[in-house]
Structure 1
Amino acid sequence: MAALHGACAMAADTTHSVTPPDAATIEQQWTAANRPYDGARQAILSQALKTAWQGPMQPDWQRLTGYTTPEWYRDAKFGIFIHWGVYSVAAYKGEWYPRHAYERTGEYADYYQHQIATYGPMPQVGYKDLIPRFKAEHFDPNAWAALFREAGARYVVPVAEHHDGFAMYNSRLSDWTAVKMGPHRDVIGELAKAVRAQGMKLGLSSHRAEHDWFYEYGRTFNSDVNDPRYAALYGPAHPSVSNKGEDGQEVDWTFVSDAYLNDWLARSSEIVQDYHPDLMYFDWWVGQPRFRQALAEFAAFYYNQAAARGQGVVLNYKLNDMRPGTGTMNIERGQAADIRPQPWQTETSISPDSWGYAEGDTYKSPDEIVQLLADVVSKNGNLLLNIGPKADGTIPSEAQGILHAIGQWMHANGEAIYSTRPWQRFGEGPTQVVAGTMQDTKTKPYTADDFRFTTKDNHLYAIEMAWPASGHAQIHSITPSMKVSAVTLLATGKTLAFEQRADGLHLTLPAQPAGVHVYAYRIDMPTNPSHTTEEGNAAKQ
């Protein structure tokens, strides 16, 4: 029925191009829409800024280099990311749907065609009209948390607010929230309780910085983005402007007002004040120059309020958004080439194409994900693996199957992952990862000659990325001078016959164990195997 209505709507669509309002008009509309929250915003900001200046940290990037990543995070190694929101209703190519639904021409024009064909013509219908369809009627936070724990996760990071501006938590600064619309539930509050009941740490993600320009394409024609009644949802929707500087690097010149920076700081601080997350994650645009001071103020507030409660917290950032040593770096859909001296994180999705749920989506194999985990952990990192639930609150069966498979592997082999630290070198073998952001599908398949190493107590762990058809494994990095006393295949718990030769450690293997095709060996030595220092004296592969 919706498709028939949409087909008629396409024929009747009479949108036309308009001249976007200037920055002053945009700010006036946005400020007026947010005026009802001025009192609450000022109260939150006042408390946050007071805390930022009263504690071991201060909003100064030099002082913030005193930050230390907590041990719980270094031990956890594996977390679950959750992209879930109104965009899950459309289920069309992922979480950037609300932006692309307003692009009438160009690479993403199919999103606009899908929007009007499925939901109706603009300006009468827009992204806001998907909110009543976001019912989350089957959302069971306890079942989600149990699944994540079974998968081997030690922390969970749901998105509290994505670029679309719809808060999944109980905000005092907006009516456009999951508590007041759509599900009429405090999604974040319920998940927080369930996650912590399972003994996992709670992280929260805010992508609100990007909301400043996210709906900009809706300004270019007669759409509901230009209706002042919806300014509190659609935000400033300023045109994004960037160009390359003299050094060839991209420079962002998008307008950001003082009022928006205050609102961003207040909303970020509100999340911390109300939910006390063990981890906060920001997307890349907080590195825009206009955010730098507000970001320092948030970091000092976050660290100081946590210190007052004796809570060790993590603040994830991307690229060069924060000064090194002031937080924990996160590489989006990418890896490091070698052992990094400071703890870090890679985030990637269970899908190679999307973060939010998309109909007809594709999925990575459990093998790929466990191989990624082993590589990242060997280099002093954590893996944050994303899933995208459906609008009704169910997790796709494909994603559940992958999580179950990872959990089975972690149950047998987690000893080689949890609470480990890097060795003298991260690994050996012919396969080189493609390092950097947005590279996670470009690494060639691993072979049985590829190993990744971790250490814990008197054990060295060698993780073989594939099973050797010969029934024999050889680890070149373990020389005869390293006196090995025993080798155990963690998948079976059985000790293996081995021989130390001049060209390395030779293992005689049993029949191939079933399950994920990545294999961890515990290698016992009389003394603690040498490992990298905190300063990162890492050997090259």
Structure 2
Amino acid sequence: MKRRYLLSALLAPCTITAFAQQHNFNNSYVKPADTLVQQKIAQWQDLKFGLFMHWGTYSQWGVVESWSICPEDEGWTQRRGPYAATYNGYVQAYENLQTTFNPVNFNPDKWAAAAKDAGMKYVVFTTKHHDGFCMFDTKQTDYKITSSKTPFSANAKSNVTKEVFDAFRKEGFMTGAYFSKPDWHSPDYWWPYFPPKDRNVNYDPKKYPQKWEAFKNYTYNQIQELMTGYGKVDVLWLDGGWVRPLSSVDTTVEWQRGIKDDQDIDMARIAGMARTHQPGLMVVDRTVSGEFENYVTPEQTIPNEPLPYPWESCITMGDSWSYVPNDNYKSTNTIVHMLVRIISRGGNLLLNIGPSPMGDYSDTAYTRLKEIGGWMKVHGEAVYGTKPLAPYEDGNIVYLQSNDGKSKYVYLLSDSKTEDVIVPETITLKGLTLTKKSKIVCLDAPKTKLNITLADGNTILALPANKIAGKYAIAFKITE
């Protein structure tokens, strides 16, 4: 993941700024021709709420995942700690974390149960991040959690990716494999003959085609392992968008200007193989517009209006993607507001939690999941299987409708400073005109009688004093 944030977007409606464009909004979406993929996308869009996890050896240091070994002078790549004085010494110590990684508290059944209780419906797990350490039993490298060099390899659950997928699949989740296209540990990507200069391949693939071909095959083989040995996989979520054909670079996007070499890994070959083993697989080659970006993944931001293609916002529960001691977690109020705003624009929320080096979530993360789950048990019908309804959002009011259009949902959000919804005497529902056959009910107080009047094409909803209460957001359902 790229290490930039737009936290104001999480607390209030956001505008698609130049910054947000860098986080993967798409101006040339290509609808998949495969009808099985189309069907899978439609199913996935109805799920609305997923769990993301960044986890690896870096969690032991509580540092940013992978990026501290990248020789770029950015805030999120800065080296810290006792090994920071020299680049080579730091990388050696970082890669030596493999020999101490032993997350003995790893219990994916516990994670899956907590996520299910929170109302989540799919999971995306980091099988390999940019540093190249594999959280699955690959046969292509010994830099992996199942290596004898790694203490956790002796554990019966050492093939972490398989354990995660099996546990979540048992709870009815769709499963997604995050996989980094760049691999900074691979000698065929960062060739030891040259020092790495930045996040990109450190040699010219056109000058050394055999080495680049070896890297392409390495990538292909690892993805093939994930597609054949880990049960049903619904999403191949590919990160590291600088590994791309040079012709696809968009120089209006700041981070893409540093891509100078053609890093084409032959996505047609990879996707074709993957779908042979996993029919209907959604492929997300993020930031690389075209036929292999089946849905779009704006990062740490929320668009102001619906986007004309399938999309999800990937957003951290804390401030960081991976584990950081005493991370600053978003409130349940903030997370619920994010979810409501995202689904009102037709998107999904992929909420990230970084497991600890011992293999568990923080107590705060579990508390957030439990509180979200309590809210979802009341409001699930106004979350799953919904689509946008203009005007989408008006102040602290958010609009949605069921996929068949037979039900409309209106959320009244709490103030950002308090968890309790302040219920006014009346609410004006702009653009919604009811008929004599219309029925309206508050999901939070279904037995409470509501009075409505019509004025200037709007519906005025009168709310009885002290009869309706709720946290984070309350919802009204309107049917004919």
Deviation at 1:377, TM superposition (A): 1.3
What letter is aligned with 2:330? K
CA pair 356-123 structure 1, distance change in 2 beyond 3 A: closer
Deviation at 1:198, TM superposition (A): 0.9
Does the 8 Å CA contact 1:279/1:315 hold for their aligned counterparts? yes
CA pair 365-317 structure 1, distance change in 2 beyond 3 A: farther
Does the 8 Å CA contact 2:294/2:310 hold for their aligned counterparts? no
Give 2:38's aligned residue: 68
Give 1:507's aligned residue: 461
Does the 8 Å CA contact 1:413/1:520 hold for their aligned counterparts? yes
Which of 229, 242, 250 is 1:285 aligned to?
242
What letter is aligned with 1:73? W
Which of 46, 62, 69 is 1:99 aligned to?
69
CA pair 255-500 structure 1, distance change in 2 beyond 3 A: farther
CA pair 378-113 structure 1, distance change in 2 beyond 3 A: same
Which of 520, 534, 539 is 2:475 aligned to?
520
Deviation at 1:508, TM superposition (A): 3.0
Give 2:250's aligned residue: none
User: Are 2:294 and 1:305 aligned?
Assistant: no
Task: Report the count of equivalent residues.
Answer: 409
Which of 409, 413, 429 is 2:394 aligned to?
429
Deviation at 1:498, TM superposition (A): 2.6
Deviation at 1:121, TM superposition (A): 9.8
Which of 171, 188, 193 is 1:198 aligned to?
171
Give 1:20's aligned residue: none
What letter is aligned with 1:279? V
What letter is aligned with 1:183? F
What letter is aligned with 1:344? W
Give 1:451's aligned residue: 398
Inter-partner Cα distance in structure 2 for 1:234 and 1:414: 47
User: Are 2:444 and 1:491 aligned?
Assistant: yes
Which of 464, 468, 476 is 2:412 aligned to?
464
Give the TM-score normalised by structure 1.
0.68
Give 1:294's aligned residue: 266
Write the deviation string for residues 382-423 of structure 1: whole angstroms up to 9, x where unpaired.
111100010001101111111111111111101001122333
Write the deviation string for residues 126-178 of structure 1: whole angstroms up to 9, x where unpaired.
11222232211101111111011111111111100011111001111111111
Deviation at 1:197, TM superposition (A): 0.9
SS of the aligned residue for 1:68 comes to helix
CA pair 453-264 structure 1, distance change in 2 beyond 3 A: same
Does the 8 Å CA contact 2:282/2:294 hold for their aligned counterparts? yes
SS of the aligned residue for 1:329 comes to coil
Inter-partner Cα distance in structure 1 for 2:199 and 2:138: 30
CA pair 176-453 structure 1, distance change in 2 beyond 3 A: same
Map 1:285-364 → 2, pairs under 5 A: 285-289=242-246, 290-292=262-264, 294-307=266-279, 312-319=280-287, 321-323=288-290, 327-351=294-318, 353-364=319-330
Give 2:60's aligned residue: 89
What letter is aligned with 1:317? D
CA pair 500-82 structure 1, distance change in 2 beyond 3 A: same
Does the 8 Å CA contact 1:165/1:234 hold for their aligned counterparts? no
Inter-partner Cα distance in structure 1 for 2:91 and 2:394: 59
Give 1:13's aligned residue: none
Inter-partner Cα distance in structure 1 for 2:176 and 2:74: 36
Inter-partner Cα distance in structure 1 for 2:285 and 2:338: 20
Which of 183, 191, 195 is 2:152 aligned to?
183
Instruction: State percent identity of aligned pairs.
Output: 26
Give 1:162's aligned residue: 129
Give 1:80's aligned residue: 51
Give 1:51's aligned residue: none
Write the deviation string for residues 498-532 of structure 1: whole angstroms up to 9, x where unpaired.
3131242222335386664112211112xxxxxxx
Does the 8 Å CA contact 1:379/1:426 hold for their aligned counterparts? no
Does the 8 Å CA contact 2:227/2:278 hold for their aligned counterparts? no
What letter is aligned with 2:286? K
Inter-partner Cα distance in structure 1 for 2:168 and 2:126: 14
SS of the aligned residue for 1:270 comes to helix
Does the 8 Å CA contact 1:492/1:513 hold for their aligned counterparts? yes
SS of the aligned residue for 1:122 comes to helix
Structure 2: unaligned runs, 5 residues or longer = 1-28, 206-211, 247-261, 415-420
CA pair 384-150 structure 1, distance change in 2 beyond 3 A: same
Inter-partner Cα distance in structure 2 for 1:328 and 1:97: 25
Give 1:47's aligned residue: none
Inter-partner Cα distance in structure 1 for 2:88 and 2:32: 50
What letter is aligned with 2:152? P
CA pair 508-124 structure 1, distance change in 2 beyond 3 A: closer
Give 2:216's aligned residue: 261
Deviation at 1:108, TM superposition (A): 6.2
SS of the aligned residue for 1:332 comes to coil
What letter is aligned with 2:161? I
Give 1:41's aligned residue: none
Which one has a bigger Cα radius of gyration? 1
